[in-house]
Chains A and B, each alone.
Chain A
């Protein structure tokens, strides 16, 4: 491909750009080829270095679009305004979405914890009532599908089963709470980083 073919191909690719701008771009590349030639470089080597006209046109159109993207100009223009915008956006996100999710997750964890405590307490009560001569059997009653159970061994076994279930339940809840806590800390760190403008 010669210099003229390259420039023609580039002009073709820039069809949807205004004629004034296209002429400006083509003129700049014409100047570039001339200067490269004066620097002693071969034409086809420069063309290779510049890449395909199609790609070049895509980058040129893209860079024009980028220059008007508000985030970009805010970043280069005013870091304070950008930080303020980041903080406002974070506050909005936190109050509208993260806070309700956080509250829901926290109440779920507390409910799970309460459930574990109830099951553990039931296990303790059953075990205690299975022991002879304590006076508990008066108000702790075990009944399975309408059949009252009075055998202390069965009551004790049921108590142990309740304790095991309550223990596993509690372990699951504490594992969940720890995971939730670490995720929450990660989110807090992200907030700080974001508000500082580090992205």
Chain B
């Protein structure tokens, strides 16, 4: 359960970051690391899976010193999943709130 929740958080974090704008792998990881306690290595396999599921796509951008950078962009399917996750999160939080409120009464 705990592991499952964490996976969901990382997945949601990636999608939420990409919803704010395209980014390359290191930017995404750095953004998540600043907010979530997670393994740095978990993001890349997730990105690959999301790409194979059509939730994100990639494109290359020329980079002055060295090979081009791969940017990730959120696709409509990814936006749908993000919206669904946000709804689930709200739902879960309101359930927790009602349990906590009920326990206090």
Contacts and interface: CB of A to CB of B under 8 A. Distances in A.
A76 interface: yes
Interface residues of B, number: 25
Contact of A66 (B24, B49, B66, B77): B49
Interface in B64-105: 66-67, 69-70, 77, 81, 84
A1 to B, nearest CB: 15
Contact of A64 (B24, B48, B55, B84): B48
A110 to B, nearest CB: 40
A49 interface: yes
A63 B46 contact: yes
B53 to A, nearest CB: 5
Nearest to A78: B80
A76 B69 contact: no
Interface of B: 24-27, 29-30, 39-42, 44-46, 48-49, 52-53, 55, 66-67, 69-70, 77, 81, 84
14 contacts: A28-B44, A31-B25, A31-B69, A32-B25, A32-B29, A35-B24, A35-B27, A39-B26, A50-B41, A60-B45, A63-B48, A63-B49, A68-B52, A76-B81
